[in-house]
Amino acid sequence: MILKIHEVGNPVLRKAARSLSADEIRSRDFQDLIGYMRDTPGVGLAAPQIGESLQITVIEDKAEYQKGVTAEQLTERQRVPVDFHAIINPQIELLTPPHPSFFEGCLSIPRLMAIVARSRSVRVTNVDEHGEQRVIEAAGWYAWILQHEIYRLHGRLYTDIMQPETLTTIDEPPAQ
C-alpha cells in the first residue's frame, strides 16, 4: 500500500495528535498501519503526515541512507544507522540546550530545508509497537530525528522554529 504524504497546509499537520490505548496498539489495524508507515521514504514519518492524527512515529536510518555523506559529516552529526522502531505516545526531555547546527527537511515540506536549533541529546519515554514501555536516550542525528518527529505529533513543523534566513531549496544547498 502506498501512503499519501500530506503536505504543509493540510490541517492534520497542525493538530495535536491523540494518544493511543494499549488495546489500540495491539490491534491488527494498528499493526498494519505500522507496516505501511515503514515502507515510506525518509528517516522518520509521523502518523499525521499520512492523515492519521495519532501519536505514533516510525524511525529508521539505514546505512544506505548515509551513502554520499562524508565521513566528516557523519562524525560531526554523530550519525550512525538506527534500526526500525515505532514510538508511540512519546514524552520528550531535552538534555542539552537547543543549538543551530544542521539543515533539516521534511517529507511534508518538499524541496525545502533550513537550519533548525535542536538539542544535541534527548530522553524519550514512550511505548513501542508491542505496547511495552521504554526509554530512549539519543544524541546527535538520532536526537534530531526524534525531536523533528515528536514535535510534529504536537502540530509543530520545523518551519516554526527554523532560522528564516537559512531557508533554501534542496537543489541549491548552501555550503556548510
Active site residue 104: no
**68: buried, middle or exposed (CB in 10 Å: 19+, 13-18, 0-12)?**
exposed
122 falls within a domain:
yes
1 falls within a domain:
no
39 falls within a domain:
yes
Q: 133 - beta bridge partners?
A: 127
57 falls within a domain:
yes
Q: What is the mean pLDDT of residues 65-69?
A: 82
36 falls within a domain:
yes
Q: What is the pLDDT of residues 124-150, one digit of tens each?
A: 999 999 999 999 999 999 999 999 999
Cell 525531536, located at residue: 147
**CATH number where 44 lies:** 3.90.45.10
64 falls within a domain:
yes
- Which structural domain, as residue segments, surrounds residue 101? 11-169
pLDDT of residue 121: 96
**Which entry of 52, 104, 129, 149 is annotated as an active-site residue?**
149
127 falls within a domain:
yes
82 falls within a domain:
yes
Q: Based on the structure, what is the number of domains in the chain? A: 1
